[in-house]
């Protein structure tokens, strides 16, 4: 879409067209909604002022990138957003050269911009990195690490701070806007340089102190003092929906030739009145009726997240030493319910997984029982803290790992494939998983009593379809390192399930002609070595079912045990292969991976 040659009126029409396209497609397909609607004018202005063909456009998290995709040659293909084999819901360089970097996790954008700016300087090129970052992402420490270096290097980078919650600073009115622009404009920049070079440096020491204090006091009347003190110029706050003002401001920022933050206030859901404002449920949506705003709801079983939250709430009522934390996902993890009931014992620490882990480690040392509830994909961000601050001290922290396994439409950046692999090799760590709702409640009871770090994984959505619930088998309470044999078999085949993989094993066994034994492994660390040794005498074909990466996963753990004991078994693992898993409807993704029950029957045959 041609942007550069269009006048202001034409650009405003482009914004209207983009919003209409997003509302039409997302209402049918689902996707990120309110955040991307709120960023339309900012995105159009960025493409007007900067050159996407040479300037790196870097979107933080990139759930606000739909307008960018529509501008950059994906208007018709937009119908496939987040669908299997369709467009990603995030920026993805494989789709377009306009997408500078893969994004899906927050707070990486400014670090990427610093790296790009260093490269541009070394190559002596005339390019400038442009970042769009939301105010929520500013809660992560990585942002300030990047700003700290950027302020020191003074490399040209323009950072558009998309503030849709007024969480950074409140506008002070027209005077603040005017002074901010004056401070960033060519006249003031040149004037300040001349004053510093020709006057201040030649003044007596006392006068220099007074002059410097006067300059600092000018900054105090703007909300950008934090950034200015870090060496980053600041413009704003500006109206993030006033296209003329945004274009004017971005041109100012572009010409400064130094790092600058443009602080823009926007409204989430802008252009679709029902979603405008701070409505969390409009951030990421399923299909909905455009006229009424009502979501198209499907009858579903109770999700593992809800079961977890209910069970933990009941446990917290019994034990006053239970505390908990999440990192910016209170409703997504179910912790919002506990924050509401126990506001002094459960916290949302914003996008700060490292801080979440380490702060709970200290609470464990003080005698509390912390439950850290974070999605599998986001727990990766606190990896060093898990090792250094929890496991090294052997502190009894519980990691409740939500969204373990395939998460569907969010794709590669969000699939919960790696938690078993990256936790299993850490000393002192216990790894366990429930297979259904009842065993999830039992595993929380176990975790509360555990005296070492304990990680529990459970899937997005419900454990299984209701007609295939594993509750047809007795559910026992959890004992450390004890598996549960669900059924014996008359064949030589043993199906070993872990977590949600147990239900896939049950479904596969029902479809297969052979009568096969089924084991609910329950613990991948420590393994139930005694039971596995006994089963090896009766069954010599083992098949592993787990929603996890094959390398370092459940099958690897069992193979290590078999090798140690010199037990000869034909073992096959149906875990994920060595690749990143694409986005799309979960069933279609699983079919593409060849792990639906009817496909597994064929593999076993």
Of 496 and 139, the one with more pLDDT: 496
Best-predicted range by mean pLDDT among 191-200, 286-295, 488-497?
Answer: 488-497
> Residue 424 above 70 pLDDT?
yes
The pLDDT score that the predictor gives to residue 475 is: 87
| 253 and 393 part of one domain | no
- Is 194 domain-assigned? no
| 268 and 417 part of one domain | no
Q: What is the pLDDT of residues 574-583, one digit of tens each?
A: 999 999 999 9
- Is 294 domain-assigned? no
Contact 375, 401 (CB under 8 A): yes
The pLDDT score that the predictor gives to residue 468 is: 44
Q: Which of 423, 442, 457 is at the close of a domain?
A: 457
The pLDDT score that the predictor gives to residue 496 is: 98
Q: What is the pLDDT of residues 188-247, one digit of tens each?
A: 555 455 555 555 555 565 555 555 555 555 444 456 778 888 899 999 889 999 999 999
Give the chain's domain count: 3
| 381 and 451 part of one domain | yes
The pLDDT score that the predictor gives to residue 199 is: 53
Domain that holds residue 548: 482-604
| 370 and 446 part of one domain | yes
Q: What is the pLDDT of residues 456-481, one digit of tens each?
A: 999 999 987 534 445 578 888 999 99
| 245 and 357 part of one domain | no
Helices 243-256 and 8-29, packing angle to 10 deg: 100
| Average confidence (pLDDT) over 587-593 | 95
| 344 and 385 part of one domain | yes
| 161 and 78 part of one domain | yes
- Is 192 domain-assigned? no
Which positions are catalytic? 268, 353, 381
Q: What is the pLDDT of residues 87-111, one digit of tens each?
A: 999 999 999 999 999 999 999 999 9
- Is 373 domain-assigned? yes
The pLDDT score that the predictor gives to residue 208 is: 58
Percent of the chain residues topping a pLDDT of 90? 80
The pLDDT score that the predictor gives to residue 466 is: 39
The pLDDT score that the predictor gives to residue 85 is: 94
Q: How far is CA 162 from CA 186, 243, 266, 395, in A?
A: 24, 14, 7, 39
CATH number at residue 380: 3.40.50.970
> Residue 170 above 70 pLDDT?
no
The pLDDT score that the predictor gives to residue 172 is: 41
Q: What is the pLDDT of residues 333-348, one digit of tens each?
A: 999 999 999 999 999 9
Integer Cα distance of 547 and 498 in angstroms: 8
Token pair listed for 82: 């987040």
CATH number at residue 529: 3.40.50.920
- Is 419 domain-assigned? yes
Can you say how many angstroms the Cα of residue 115 is from the centroid of all Cα atoms in its chain? 22
| 352 and 496 part of one domain | no
- Is 128 domain-assigned? yes
Q: What is the pLDDT of residues 54-69, one digit of tens each?
A: 999 999 999 999 999 9
| 278 and 309 part of one domain | no
| 308 and 415 part of one domain | yes
Token pair listed for 565: 């004991």
Secondary element (H or E) of residue 114: helix 109-122
| 505 and 590 part of one domain | yes
| 106 and 47 part of one domain | yes
Integer Cα distance of 565 and 571 in angstroms: 15
- Is 185 domain-assigned? no
- Is 344 domain-assigned? yes
The pLDDT score that the predictor gives to residue 44 is: 98
């Amino acid at each position: 879409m041609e942007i550069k040659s269009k006048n202001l009126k034409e650009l405003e029409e482009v914004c209207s067209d983009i919003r209409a396209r997003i509302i039409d497609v997302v209402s049918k397909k689902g996707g990120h909604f309110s955040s991307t609607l709120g960023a339309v004018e900012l995105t159009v202005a960025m493409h007007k002022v900067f050159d996407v063909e040479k300037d790196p456009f870097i979107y933080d998290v990139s759930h606000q990138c739909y307008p960018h995709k529509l501008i950059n040659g994906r208007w018709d293909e937009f119908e496939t957003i987040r669908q299997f084999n369709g467009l990603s819901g995030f920026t993805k360089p494989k789709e377009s050269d306009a997408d500078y970097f893969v994004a899906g996790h927050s707070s990486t954008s400014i670090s990427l911009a610093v790296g790009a700016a260093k490269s541009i300087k070394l190559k002596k090129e005339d390019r400038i990195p442009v970042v769009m970052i939301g105010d929520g992402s500013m809660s992560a420490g990585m942002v300030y690490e990047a700003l700290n270096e950027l302020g020191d290097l003074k490399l040209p980078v323009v950072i558009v701070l998309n503030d849709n919650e007024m969480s950074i600073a409140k506008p002070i009115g027209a005077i603040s806007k005017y002074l901010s622009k004056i401070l960033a404009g060519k006249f003031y920049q040149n004037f300040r340089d001349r004053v510093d070079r020709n006057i201040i440096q030649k003044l007596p020491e006392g006068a220099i102190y007074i002059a410097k204090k006067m300059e600092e006091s000018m900054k105090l009347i703007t909300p950008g003092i934090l950034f200015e003190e870090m060496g980053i110029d600041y413009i704003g706050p500006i109206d993030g929906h006033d296209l003329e003002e945004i274009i004017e401001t971005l041109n100012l920022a572009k010409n400064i030739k130094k790092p600058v933050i443009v602080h823009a206030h926007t409204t989430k859901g802008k252009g679709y009145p029902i979603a405008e404002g701070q409505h969390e449920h409009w951030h990421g949506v399923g299909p909905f009726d455009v006229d009424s705003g009502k979501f198209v709801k499907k009858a579903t079983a109770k999700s593992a997240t809800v079961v977890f939250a209910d069970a933990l709430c009941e446990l917290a009522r019994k034990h006053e030493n239970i505390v908990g934390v999440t990192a910016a996902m209170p409703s997504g993890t179910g912790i919002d319910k506990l924050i509401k009931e126990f506001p002094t014992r459960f916290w949302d620490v914003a996008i700060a997984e490292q801080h979440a882990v380490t702060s709970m480690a200290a609470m464990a040392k003080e005698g509390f029982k912390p439950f850290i509830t974070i999605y599998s994909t986001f727990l990766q961000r606190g990896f060093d803290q898990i090792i250094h601050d929890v496991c090294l001290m052997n502190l009894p922290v519980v990691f409740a790992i939500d969204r373990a396994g395939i998460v569907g439409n969010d794709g590669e950046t969000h699939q919960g494939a790696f938690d078993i692999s990256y936790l299993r090799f850490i000393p002192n760590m216990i790894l366990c998983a429930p297979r259904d709702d009842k065993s999830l409640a039992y595993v929380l009871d176990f975790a509360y009593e555990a005296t070492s770090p304990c990680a529990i994984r459970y899937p997005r959505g419900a454990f299984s379809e209701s007609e295939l619930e594993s509750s047809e088998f007795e559910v026992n309470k959890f004992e450390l390192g004890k598996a549960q044999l669900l059924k014996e078999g008359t064949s030589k085949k043993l199906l070993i399930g872990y977590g949600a993989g147990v239900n896939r094993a049950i479904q596969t066994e029902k479809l297969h002609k052979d009568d096969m034994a089924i084991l609910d492994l329950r613990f991948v660390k420590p393994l139930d070595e005694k039971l596995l040794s006994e089963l090896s005498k009766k069954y010599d074909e083992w098949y592993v079912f787990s929603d996890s990466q094959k390398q370092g996963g459940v099958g690897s753990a069992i193979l290590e045990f078999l090798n140690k004991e010199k037990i000869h078994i034909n073992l096959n693992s149906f875990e994920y292969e060595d690749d990143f898993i694409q986005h799309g409807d979960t069933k279609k993704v699983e079919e593409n991976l060849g792990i639906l029950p009817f496909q597994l029957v064929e593999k076993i045959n």
